[in-house]
Structure 1
Amino acid sequence: MNCELEKPRHVVRKFHSRPQHEGVGAVVRRSIGRFELRYFDPFLVLDEFSVAAPAGFPDHPHRGNLDSIRSKGAVMHEDFEGHKGLIKAGDLQWMTAGRGIVHSEMPAGQGLSKGLQLWVNLSSKNKMIEPRYQEIQSKDIASTSKNGVTVRVIAGESMGIQSPVYTCTPTMYLDFTLKPSAHLQQPIPSSWNAFVYILEGEGFFGLEKSGPVGAHHLLLLGQGDGLEVWNRSSKMLRFVLIGGEPLDEPVSQLGPFVMNTDEEIDQTVDDFQYFVNGFEKARHWRSEAMLD
């Protein structure tokens, strides 16, 4: 894929995501949401997770954010609104927590389940909307290939195809695979923040002379109108390019609760504790995983 970029973005910061424990017995590589990078507007958390039963992410609440999962292996999810389903290899779940949800994400079957989890912040006007789910099977995710580049469009648009996923906060989420010697130029709205997370292989990002960067690295991109990438290795390069429109609003966060002020966080804690204002169904609900 080639298009003419007037001002390609360069890598301005680089992080190597280190494994840490999360949930119950799960291991994640967290790159956004750790002490070096608490927030990259509008992104709150990016985790590359690896989990096998009986470990996982049992019943827990959210308010005020979006929560996306792509899985390699099977993950069973369920919540107090009655939603329940199996996220299989390559499937997408895009959950908008809004005013409140309590849900569970646990591995299903044998073997290791892997994937990416991204938390996207919601604007103040959308924080208390009703929760919703969008689920797309792997075979239905918009995808195309050209000149050694394959893209799966999770959110946004690339190479002439567009995702059907609706995001309250304008977001692009592109899963690229580049064959050896492939070259990519991907436009990004100039006002958006954007980053790359490398899943497999190594590549040159932003400047061909910058030197190769390998798996499990997060690359924050500077200002410009797009990203340029080269795969000079003999192996496949796979990475996600994620961008979003900054909210430019204050952030107050307590674990999975993300609001604008400390007072709103205090109110959220009270709402959850007393099962009101969106958390009514949490009083009596337990996931099947917790009841087993």
Structure 2
Amino acid sequence: MNIESARSIKKVWTVHERKVSGVHRAGAVLEPGFWEDYDPFLLLMDDRFEKGAFDIHPHRGMETITFVIDGSINHYDSVTGEGGKLKSGDFQFMTAGRGVVHNESPDEGESVHLLQLWVNLPRKYKMVEPRYQNIPKIAAPVRHEEGALIRVYSGSSGPVVSKTLNYVPVTFVEVIAEGETLVRQDLPGSYNGFIYILEGSGMFGKNQVQASKGQALWLETADNFDMSYIEVAAIEKLRFILFAGEPLNEPVVARGPFVMNTEEEIEQAYADYRKWKFLTQNK
């Protein structure tokens, strides 16, 4: 294999927010159903909501990455029997594994703006013990470059490495760059990846695609190379997140909050949930 490749941008799209309910608005950054294209990612939602938008609900066979952009959220889970609070800039990596029941809700009268990404679990880890990793903003390692800050929530950026545990190798970084700053993020060549812009505008990739707040960009593949990198030139103050991960190349059967490899496994997940096994198995 060749050593390193500069990545181009394959496609750009604008995320459109829609009203889900009187207390919930959401935009699909990654629409569900494109399992092969987005592998190992399943969906990414940009959510703005108040208390009552979600009720207690289960998951199996996947992981969620929750990143709070603004506000705060209280979370409860059946793994610990308690929960906690995530604030602006905090990150949570939840491994549902064989079964989790949880809920996420802001305080009464408050609202929260967050991103939630669903990551598929490999077949051999579908039924692992559930696990929660809560990383406060101040605990995430940071890489400083001239005019830029790269906060590393998972994976690595240059010499800076996160301690987040992954069943699927995932890189998750937040980049904040001043105008006229050039930032480079390295990635294994085999990873699929994308960028979502939270503020500002810039030129992205080898082909210098211009994009701005509210747009997402899918990275061109570089699977013939050991390593790759994406370069971003900030036109004005720019804030974006980048997710990239190792594709699983496995069948995906998803129904509601469960993501498995076969229809039979999905049916079993629903049967187990109806029998309260998600609540009893972790005690």
Normalising by structure 1, report the TM-score: 0.87
Partner of 1:207: 206
Code of the aligned partner of 2:250: E
Code of the aligned partner of 1:64: G
Note the C-alpha offset of 1:222: 0.8
Code of the aligned partner of 1:280: T
Partner of 2:253: 252
> Partners in 2 of 1:196 and 1:274 — Cα distance?
40
- 1:169 counterpart SS class: coil
Partner of 1:265: 266
Partner of 2:178: 179
Note the C-alpha offset of 1:202: 0.9
Partner of 1:94: 93
Partner of 2:231: 228
Partner of 2:189: 190
- 1:125 counterpart SS class: helix
Note the C-alpha offset of 1:112: 2.6
> Partners in 2 of 1:261 and 1:159 — Cα distance?
39
Note the C-alpha offset of 1:111: 3.5
> Partners in 2 of 1:209 and 1:63 — Cα distance?
40
Contact 2:98 2:130 survives alignment (8 Å): yes
Partner of 1:55: 52
> Partners in 1 of 2:41 and 2:142 — Cα distance?
24
Cα 1:261–1:67 shift into 2, 3 Å: same
Structure 2 unaligned segments of length 5 or more: list them. 223-227
- 1:139 counterpart SS class: helix
Identical columns (%): 35
The aligned length equals 273
Instruction: Give 1:1-292 correspondences, 5 Å limit.
Output: 6-22=4-20, 25-34=23-32, 40-52=38-50, 54-71=51-68, 72-81=70-79, 82-108=81-107, 110-207=109-206, 209-210=208-209, 212-224=210-222, 225-233=228-236, 236-276=237-277, 278-280=278-280
Normalising by structure 2, report the TM-score: 0.90
Over aligned residues, Cα RMSD in angstroms?
A: 2.1
Note the C-alpha offset of 1:275: 2.1
Note the C-alpha offset of 1:144: 2.8
Contact 2:33 2:42 survives alignment (8 Å): no
1:26-73 deviation per Cα after TM superposition (whole angstroms, max 9, x unaligned)? 212112134678850000111111112x33322011001111112121
Cα 1:144–1:174 shift into 2, 3 Å: same
Structure 1 unaligned segments of length 5 or more: list them. 283-292
Contact 2:185 2:231 survives alignment (8 Å): yes
